[in-house]
Amino acid sequence: MMEDLKPLKIDEKFEHKDRVEEIQKVYKSYAEKMRKLDVLNYQTMHAISFLQLKDPIQLTTGQRSVSAIKSLLFPSFWPCKLRRIYADPTLKSISELHRDLELVYVGQVCLSWEILHWQYGKAKELLENDSQGYRPYNQVASEFEQFQVLVQRSVENEQFQGPRVQDYVKNRCILGALLQVPAIRDDCLKDKKENRVEGNDVVSIAMLTEIIEESMRTFWEFLRADKDEASVILKGLQGSHVHLQAPFDSELLMNIKASLQKKERRIKDILRSGNCIVKKFQKHQEGRLDHSMLLARVELRLVSRVLNMSRLTTDQLVWCQKKLNKINFVGRKIHVEPSFLLFPF
């Protein structure tokens, strides 16, 4: 009888290894895109600083934009390489530079949600093959908890800071871990031995799954605290016009907005419904959404935030359209199809 169980254990081991390798491969794509946006962030902030030093008159068109820009300046961090890249900062107007900062914020928010949601699904898959909690995940659990702390602290401090985009890009430079989702991995063999001795301190995959879900809820609080105030600066500099990549994108944009509004109305109807599961939860835990509602609201809010950007590419509009197509309603039930769509830029 014991002989029959050995192949099953080997299969489970390989299946776990395959899933971990898949997570590492996908996470690498996420991390690389986040890094590219970080580079854009540093370059843009230094370019704004250099532009002010070279031509301060250009930055005095409005008090709001001036105060917002000044909060971003870090002249002492200006490296020689970036000085060469932006040798003539007039090649990029101040509004273009602010559009780049907006892309950094919106892009990283969308990327981090995507990997966070996707890894939650992978954690549930890992749980199926390790229901006994044999493998410890203490290190990554600690990293997810740190992710929550940084995001919560960012929301709490926001009322004392400037607009969301300006506050985020500045804090991202200072705290590189802000909104950086960790990769799921179990602890090394050395850690396993230590955890076996400690016993009760072991974090199982089941516990890690709960921590990741709580991280998703923390992310939602961060997202819904975004009042799109960042667009005030851009509107003051260039008006409310949206820069589209191609002429035919105008019709696509209108169709996406119509679909978004329709789905947002459905969500509001469900939330108002006396039979809504959310209301039953709220009697015991105010503001806590059921999982499907959480996913739908985050996805819709992300699409809305992308559409509020002052510059949109065709790929970004298609991304929004695909996101909306994944959200469906059957009666008053919400269904969000699993997907993995890294934000294009």
User: Domain segments of the chain: what residues?
Assistant: 2-224, 242-336
pLDDT, residue 6, reads 40
pLDDT, residue 95, reads 83
Amino acid at 71: S
Contact call for residues 246 and 303 (beta carbons, < 8 A) = no
Residues shown for the chain:
345
pLDDT, residue 131, reads 76
62 alpha carbon, distance to own chain's centre: 31
Contact call for residues 311 and 99 (beta carbons, < 8 A) = yes
Count CB neighbours of 79 within 10 A. Answer: 10
pLDDT, residue 49, reads 84
Q: What is the pTM of this model?
A: 0.81
pLDDT, residue 201, reads 85
Contact call for residues 113 and 298 (beta carbons, < 8 A) = yes
Contact call for residues 312 and 242 (beta carbons, < 8 A) = yes
Count CB neighbours of 266 within 10 A. Answer: 17
Residue in the block written with tokens 């790929």: 315
Alpha-carbon span 51 to 187, nearest angstrom:
48
Alpha-carbon span 287 to 65, nearest angstrom:
35
Q: Max CA-CA distance within the chain?
A: 83
pLDDT, residue 227, reads 81
Residues of the chain with pLDDT under 50: 1-10, 60-90, 190-191, 195, 197, 229-230, 232-233, 236-238, 276, 278-279, 283-284, 286
Q: Which residues pair with 111 in a beta bridge?
A: none
Alpha-carbon span 98 to 149, nearest angstrom:
28
